[in-house]
Each structure stands twice: as structure tokens, then as C-alpha cells.
Structure 1
Amino acid sequence: MKVVFAGPSLFGVEHAQAGLEFRPPVRQGDILVAIEDGATHIGIIDGVFGFAPSIWHKEILYALSKGVVVMGSSSMGALRAAECQQFGMIPIGRIANAYVSGELDDDAAVALTMAPREFGYMPFVEPLVDVWPSIEAVVAAGGVTAEEGEAIRLSAEHMYFEERTVEAMIATALPPNRFSDALKAYMQFRVSQKSLDALELLAALRAAGGEPARSSGWNFHASPFWRRASELRLTVHSRDSC
């Protein structure tokens, strides 16, 4: 079974679902549940933080130690892939590999807020990893000048991620008489690197064979805390499934 944890990175994006089981953005304990359910391959795209505990690195190491293939891209998946690559997790896409190489080192570059499940995890704000390629595209297309593009970039980078809407970053950067045209151009030529990387992960996951993950010569240490925490998570899942 191949399980994918995704949300805002696939919002509004057409993609085939055959052969994959899609679950909500990952949170702490979800990888354990997926393994218990029989997952042999796991793709992590989106995850939660702040309002709920984020996915624990130890869960990923546990999955890898069991031979489960784990890939990550786009958002939380990109962060965890960079952090766990040396243990066998596979980074997919431009964003994840930028974190691996050190080109990116700030978690906030992928941060956003999103709507609940009932609204398809619609993103409320624009993450920096989508702002940067979008500005390049709109400048190249002549929608804004290079100077205006630079002003929008700086505006976006200085905003708190929860306030970084496309409208806000353009309104802050440009004079009022340029707002409407610049906004229209940005939306026309917008590039979602998160979505592109997410689609790349789906393709890689579908193409993956039955080979187990390689442990790279390390051993998983099941501490007493780990055993207790995992038992509690699986117990809660069992109750929720009843």
C-alpha cells in the first residue's frame, strides 16, 4: 500500500489518484498508523505544525528501519526529507533538494496557513517558495518590471507568513495605480513550486517498485519513551476507528 499525506500543495491541482491512498496533512503519530495499516511506501507532502504536534523524526526512522520507502517533497515533506536523507528518506523536487544542498535553510520558506479538510485544505497565504519563481515568471513575461518584481520579493520576505497574501505583498510593494495590473499579472503567471514538486513525488511513488528502504548502516533504537508513545498513538487510532 502506498500512502500520501497531502493538503494545500495539491489544492486545485488535477492529479490521478489510482494506486495511491491519500490522507490529510501529516501530524505526529500518523506514520505509525500508516505502517500499522500496511503501508510499504509513504509520501509526505504537507504536514501540520503549531496547532497540533508535527510529525516526529523518530517515526520516519522507524518506518525506514522497517523497510518502508519514505519520500518527501514540497512542504513538511521537504523539511523532513532533508533532515532524514542520511538515514534513507528520499527528497523529491526542487524545494526538498534546495534544503538538502543548503540553498534553503529557513523552515518559514514553506510555511502557510490553510483551510480545514471540508474546504480541501485551501491555502490562505503565499509561501516564499512559490513567491520566488512566480516573480521570476511574471518579470520574464513583462507583467511587472524587474524593479517592481524586486520590491514585491522584498515585501513578501519581510512579512510574517500568516499575513503574506498575494494582495498584501503587492499592495505593500507598489503604488496604488499599479496594484490591479500587477495582481492580474502575478496570478496569470504564478508558479506553484510546491504543487510541481508534489506532482513529481506522486509520479515517483507510483513508479517505485517493491524494493525496501535501505537503512544505510544504522540501527533504530526503540527507547522506553518511544515504545510508550507509539503504543498510546496506536491505541488512540484503534479507538477512533471503532
Structure 2
Amino acid sequence: MTDVVFIGPSLPTDEVARLLPDAVVLPPVAHGDLLRLDVGPGDRVLVVDGFFLQHPPVRHREILDLLDRGVTVAGAASMGALRAAELWPFGMRGVGEVFQLYRDGVVTGDDEVAVVHGPAEEGHRAMSVPLVNIRIELRRAVAAGVLSDAEAVRLLDIGRDLPFRRRSYRALERSAPPEAAAVLDRFLTWRRRDPGDAKGADARLLLSMAADNAPELRPPHADDQPIDNLHTRFLDSWRSRFAGGSVGGHWVSDREAAAVLMLLHPESPAWHRRGVLAGLAEVDIADPMVEDHAREVARRRGLSAAPPTGWDWLTDSERGLDEHEAVLRVLVRAFGTTPYRSLALWMVAAPLRTPAMLAAARQIAATAASLNETLVPRTTGHRRPGGRLHFRTEVVDTHFARLWGCAVDDLEAAAWDRGFVDLAAFRYAAEPLVAYVKAFGAPRLPAVATRAQEDTLAGSAARIG
């Protein structure tokens, strides 16, 4: 069993190591971090802290994806408490007083757990006090008879009016009107004798429960609400962007591996074509009659390559093709192309998604990244999304037209036939690989095994076993 803990200002990492010695300790969680984890049933992901402003926050579907895979996910104290209060019906476990306040609707604002903190090198040291901590301290003061309910509400309102970046007990004292000074002084004098830290206490509780294998920290089960409609294009896109593997110190996402296979594998256009047509005809990609089945689907649905249906997907030189071939090209391009941001690994034809193919693709992407970092200067000017800009457009086009054996004017059609919706999508995917192509030319990617080869390999394995 693996325990992964996302933590920052709520608790020092050395205290995490003391309470849960074998845990993998990571910085506050952000969007995409959960999708990078190699976890499964039996593993636990414990979320304490998370980013709000510096990075996009962790999305609900990322947590639901882990729950759907049988991973125990629990939260406390800060972002963990917030997400657990939102997702506990689906099996995310919540621990502690902060979680209860959110779950019961007493606290609704995200800002109540937000703090300003230092960088990772300084241990994410907190530089402000979260409002939820002030709220719970005021509740303790009421229980101890130090404040009345009305006085506690008044002081909480003063704290709420402060921007979350400025919240602290000293700022509370400076901001209080003169008529509240005596009440505030009474509260702060009491608190100095008996200070509390609700978020820290909740974080310690979660880690202690994990160390004791508390039954409350269990994976989703039949009593939890089913998770429906989880796998959307959004989740597929996030997984392709963030999931992947490290090669030579470079993180290579599934999307980058997919781009390598689509752009650089010599069999990519043929398998992409077969994959799209097989999907439309709802037959196996290896079916020898896949093109006939696809043409029949087009005929039944009244699709043709004639205007206005299909000419946008045909070049001027292709409009003289026979009707059967023209229809197939229109089908592949109309139903099988995507923007780069929507590119997901599942869109690569299955015969190109073998472990050997993916390992080779990741190695090429990592080598290309290393070349870009060490040998290629960045150009100036407007940057495309993601900040990548090493080669001018004409350089990208020229090298890939040469690689694919086509004229530059025919590049868009060649990109369509590899799954890219337009030249912009192709160039965004191709630009990071130009240095590799310039240095090494076409890579040696594994060939797709034929059905006969697969049968031979399977028979050999059976005899060996």
C-alpha cells in the first residue's frame, strides 16, 4: 500500500514523516497532480493543502477518477476539507472540524481556508492566518466563557472583512473599531495563554488515522453514491496533458507521446485512416472490409464528397478522385481530426499504442526536449499557448514536408490524414520535434506487427509457457 500526502503550510513535512513515516510527501495539490500518480486499489491519497491562485486548483473529476479506480481519497484541514465536503457522497472521506464546517454548510467560502505562504524551499511557511482558524478559535472562546455568542460574531465579521492575504490576529487588532477593542483584547489575551491551530490539528488527525489504518479511511463502496458520467472529453484531455512518465529527467505526457506517434511513425496515416473508418462502421480495425463498411455507412447517411458536404476536406488536386476514395478521405478528415488541446492518447490507432511504441515515443519526446533546452535558442516575438517557440513556421513546415515526402502546399492535407484539424494544430504539435528531426531525421520506431506475426508470437509464448 502506498500513501501519498499533499501538504504545504498546514503542517511541516518533518511532522508528516513522524506521523506517517512511509508516506510519499508532495507539495500542495494543483490541477493535474492527481493524474500523474501511479496508484490503484489499496493505495491512499491524502489531501491536506492545495493551490488556489498560483496554479489552477485540483478539479473534482480528478478526485472522482481516483475514487472510480478504487483508490482511497481522504481530505482534511484546507483544500482537502473543501473537496471532501463537496465529494463525500461519492466516497471521498473527510476528517476534522474544518471538513465538518464545510460539509454542514456553516462555512461556504473558499477564502476561509486560503493563506499566503512562502515557497517550497521555505517549507511553504504560512504568512497569514486562515479565517477558519479564527472562526474556530472564537468558538473555543465562547465555549470557555471568554466571549458571548454576539461578541464572537462581531469579531468574526471584522476578520471576514479583511482580504485573506492580510488576515492575522495582529491585523484583526489593528482593524477593530474602538468600541470592539476591549472585547478583542480579552479574546487575544485568552488565546495567548491557550493558542490553537485548527487546520494543523485536522492534518495531524488525518495522518494519525492513516497510520492506525482507521476503518473510516476506506475506499468507495456500495453505500456511496455511484459516480456517473465521469469519462468526458475534459477528463481525457486532462489525462493526456498531465499523465505520462519521466524519461531522462524530462516528464513526457501522454499527449506528447501521442503527437510523436502521429507525426513521426511512417504507418500513422494508414492506421489512422483504418481506425477512424472502423469506428464509424463499428467494426474491428483489422477487418479487411473496413473501407467497404465505411462507404456503406456514408451511403446510408447520405454523405458524399460533393459540395457542400465534403469539398472543404479535399484539396483542389483531390477533387478529381473517384467518388469512393473521395468519400473515404472526407470521412477520415471530418470525423478523425482534432485540435492539439483535445488530443488524447486513445485517438492514436490501437496498433500504434503498444508498450514498445509508447516507450520509443517517450524517448524521442524526451530527447527532443533536451535538444530544445540545450542547443536551440528561443526566438523573440509572440508566443503560442504553452510558451513554446523555437522555430519559425516556415522551418516547421519545410522540415515536415520533407519528412513526409509532400509539397509544403499539401501539408495541411497530410496533417489531416494524421489526425490534426488544421495547420495550427499540426504546427503546435510538431514544433518541439523540429530539432530532433534536424539532428537525426526520421526516427526508427517499431513497426506494427501483422496479425500473422501476433499469432506466431502468441504461439511461441504458449509453447515456452
Tell me which interval the TM-score lies in, with the shorter structure as reference length.
0.7 to 0.9
The verdict on how the C-alpha distance between 1:148 and 1:57 changes in structure 2, with shifts beyond 3 A counting, is closer
Tell me, yes or no, if the aligned pair for 2:41 and 2:69 is still in contact at 8 Å: no
CA deviations over 1:78-120 (Å, ceiling 9, x no partner): 1100111111101111111221121222222111111111111
The verdict on how the C-alpha distance between 1:150 and 1:223 changes in structure 2, with shifts beyond 3 A counting, is closer
1:16 counterpart residue number:
19
Tell me, yes or no, if the aligned pair for 2:98 and 2:198 is still in contact at 8 Å: yes
The verdict on how the C-alpha distance between 1:52 and 1:226 changes in structure 2, with shifts beyond 3 A counting, is same
Quick one: which amino acid aligns to residue 241 of structure 2? L
Tell me, yes or no, if the aligned pair for 2:115 and 2:126 is still in contact at 8 Å: yes
% identical equivalent positions: 30
Quick one: which amino acid aligns to residue 3 of structure 2? K
* 1:221 maps to which of 208, 218, 230: 230
Secondary structure of the corresponding residue to residue 4 of structure 2: strand
Tell me, yes or no, if the aligned pair for 1:71 and 1:89 is still in contact at 8 Å: yes
Q: For 1:162-173, what aligned pairs fall within 5 Å after superposition?
A: 162-173=165-176
2:3 counterpart residue number:
2
Q: Is the aligned partner of 1:113 residue 2:116?
A: yes
- Greater RCO (CA < 8 Å, at least 6 residues apart): 1
Aligned counterparts of 1:13 and 1:172: Cα–Cα separation in 2: 35
Aligned counterparts of 1:68 and 1:104: Cα–Cα separation in 2: 28
Q: Which shows bigger deviation, 64-73 or 36-45?
A: 36-45
Q: For 1:71-110, what aligned pairs fall within 5 Å after superposition?
A: 71-110=74-113
Deviation at 1:51, TM superposition (A): 1.6
Structure 2, unaligned runs of 5 or more = 253-365, 367-465
Q: What is the RMSD computed on CA atoms of the aligned residues?
A: 3.3
CA deviations over 1:137-181 (Å, ceiling 9, x no partner): 467779x76687665433212111111122111122266x97999
Deviation at 1:189, TM superposition (A): 2.3
Structure 1, unaligned runs of 5 or more = none
Deviation at 1:221, TM superposition (A): 2.9
1:55 counterpart residue number:
58
The verdict on how the C-alpha distance between 1:171 and 1:152 changes in structure 2, with shifts beyond 3 A counting, is farther
Give the TM-score normalised by the residue count of structure 2: 0.46
CA deviations over 1:203-228 (Å, ceiling 9, x no partner): 22221579643264334532233212
CA deviations over 1:20-52 (Å, ceiling 9, x no partner): 221111001111122359981011110001121
Quick one: which amino acid aligns to residue 117 of structure 1? A
Quick one: which amino acid aligns to residue 5 of structure 1? F
Tell me, yes or no, if the aligned pair for 1:95 and 1:197 is still in contact at 8 Å: yes
The aligned length equals 241
Higher Cα Rg: structure 1 or 2? 2
* 1:232 maps to which of 226, 235, 241: 241
